[in-house]
Chains A and B, each alone.
Chain A
């Protein structure tokens, strides 16, 4: 089942929930809606489910317009952040509820519910009430309930947020595996970029109700279209420096903060064509910086955070911060001054006014 969103907009009085969201989700695709709280991702999800009616715009399932279709007729399964299990019913009743509403005969209902429950590994908990289950078990019940009616579309609203870190990690893998096996079109709302990166085929990044970028994880990571996307995706996050942009002596240079950096010509030409800017914001990811004798610039160690496999060191360049990932162990201490060298091919350039990437190739 394909899902297409056209200019999807939702206003709550004067508050903008979502604005002009345009998205195309292919059949069997796993798409993540990623963004901070209040960015409109849950609002968009609820419009796809039919719980919110769009103020403007259209939702299409395959080629059918479903704006006026109530949730019960949309054949979607949904897993909520709080699981939303019915507390007064047993696990079996919870899972079988959609089938009961469809008036499926008793025998078939029991069979299908048991099958889904076994698939989720909770087949032996059928007689319990939700309050008697652990968080992980409740989540599986919620998932079973969403799957039992064999929906065309699966919707997830931050389902892993309430689980502890270890369980979350395991469930991430299991959910991804499940979705691949079942091949159901899935839309997954999350604020955790790691979840989005590891699970989704494509990620839609949203902020303040507006879609910022839409593409496969790798593309968003390597070629972010806006500063917001660049800073949101990737952990530890990208560092940004404001620099002056100059073209001289047949090359392009970034000057500032003690740096006089020559950037690759292709990047310079792109920036010039998309600008031309006098000032740029340079973005560089922590793993693309190395500590080298003299390097491109010298910075002072501000804080060292050991991560086990690597150490995250924050340097101060005059008044700006720069995060660097160094394979452990890091030999320096706070206050040391060291040389930093940048991987020139991995430099990102952004327009300070629009915060958009200057390296777009269109």
Chain B
């Protein structure tokens, strides 16, 4: 009996720990499909009225916002962060991994420091930088700002991957007949692909879930999903149903992206074993 208890105890702990999350998600789903929910969990009726934002603009105040525009903005935002992140971090990491130059140790040390630094603290400074660059209140500006906060993390991961490709594999490629660019394309790139996927996922999700940067640096007509949600909550009468529905809608693409990318990531990692 005691043996069974010992075996079951990790599961027990996990189940007990998961209950709050379970309740929360159930609340979300129930609320999105019903106008009124008693005791927070048992729906009164099943209705798709909360989901009407999918086909008609959301009425609030004097504005009429189509959720699809907002979704597109969010996709562009997150996608922009991901693409820019991959470009900058890969190039920087390759240089930091392969090339000796003065100040290299300093830069690496700074990366470590910046990783521990909360990006939100830099918001005011970023505001002024964007102002000077004439990028304030523009989508490219926000993308740039958000992405720059993710650089230390991305560079660190990519550098690790580049360090993991030994010198002699590049040399072997050169001797076999590659030019430097061919060696990069055919040999190096496939081997660091898992790293690229990893940082693009992280960057995308960082952009997707971001609220503060989008809120502060992009007020006005152009909204992303997180700002939309915040706007809905600011009205006097809170429509929980609508809120729940939009939240679920907000969650789904990210979950989908994560699932797909994770599968691709797992496949690539197994193949990328060192000889």
Contact between B166 and A82 (Cβ–Cβ < 8 Å)?
yes
- Identify the stretch in A85-93, A217-225, A259-267 within 8 Å (CB) of chain B at 4 or more residues: A85-93
Contact between A80 and B168 (Cβ–Cβ < 8 Å)?
yes
Interface residues of A in 148-173 (CB under 8 A from B): 149
The chain B residue sitting closest to A73, CB to CB, is B177
Q: Mark B2-40, 1 if CB is under 8 A from A, else 0.
A: 000000000000000000000000000000000000000
Contact between A86 and B174 (Cβ–Cβ < 8 Å)?
no
Contact between A98 and B191 (Cβ–Cβ < 8 Å)?
no
Interface residues of B in 101-156 (CB under 8 A from A): none
Which B residues lie within 8 Å of A129 (CB)? 271, 273
Distance, CA A53 to CA B154, complexed state (A): 33
Q: Mark A75-86, 1 if CB is under 8 A from B, else 0.
A: 011101111111
In the assembled complex, A138 has its CB within 8 A of some CB on chain B: yes
Contact between A84 and B179 (Cβ–Cβ < 8 Å)?
no
Which A residues lie within 8 Å of B171 (CB)? 46, 49, 51, 71, 78, 80, 84
Which A residues lie within 8 Å of B218 (CB)? none
Distance, CA A149 to CA B182, complexed state (A): 18
Contact between B177 and A77 (Cβ–Cβ < 8 Å)?
no
Distance, CA A78 to CA B167, complexed state (A): 14
Contact between A138 and B177 (Cβ–Cβ < 8 Å)?
no
In the assembled complex, B190 has its CB within 8 A of some CB on chain A: yes
Contact between B191 and A88 (Cβ–Cβ < 8 Å)?
yes
A101 CB contact (under 8 Å) in B182, B272, B273: B182
Chain B's interface size range is 20 to 34
In the assembled complex, A344 has its CB within 8 A of some CB on chain B: no
A84 CB contact (under 8 Å) in B168, B191, B272, B273: B168
In the assembled complex, A333 has its CB within 8 A of some CB on chain B: no
Which A residues lie within 8 Å of B175 (CB)? 49-51, 71-72, 76-78
B275 CB contact (under 8 Å) in A46, A87, A98, A102: A87
Closest Cβ–Cβ distance, residue B191 to chain A (whole Å): 6
- A-B Cβ contacts below 8 A, count: 75
Distance, CA A145 to CA B173, complexed state (A): 11
A interface residues, tally (CB under 8 Å): 29
Closest Cβ–Cβ distance, residue A13 to chain B (whole Å): 9
Distance, CA A72 to CA B177, complexed state (A): 4
Interface residues of B in 44-97 (CB under 8 A from A): none
In the assembled complex, A286 has its CB within 8 A of some CB on chain B: no
Distance, CA A101 to CA B191, complexed state (A): 19
Which B residues lie within 8 Å of A77 (CB)? 175
The chain A residue sitting closest to B165, CB to CB, is A87
In the assembled complex, A131 has its CB within 8 A of some CB on chain B: yes
Q: Mark B158-191, 1 if CB is under 8 A from A, else 0.
A: 0000000010110111111111001000010011
In the assembled complex, A258 has its CB within 8 A of some CB on chain B: no
In the assembled complex, B263 has its CB within 8 A of some CB on chain A: no
Closest Cβ–Cβ distance, residue A59 to chain B (whole Å): 15
Distance, CA A87 to CA B171, complexed state (A): 14
Contact between A86 and B275 (Cβ–Cβ < 8 Å)?
yes
Contact between B271 and A149 (Cβ–Cβ < 8 Å)?
no
A-B contact pairs, 21 of them (CB 8 A): A49-B171, A50-B175, A71-B171, A72-B174, A72-B175, A78-B171, A78-B175, A82-B166, A82-B168, A83-B275, A84-B169, A84-B275, A85-B172, A86-B172, A88-B191, A98-B176, A98-B177, A101-B182, A129-B273, A131-B274, A149-B177
Residues of B within 8 A of A (CB): 166, 168-169, 171-179, 182, 187, 190-191, 271-275
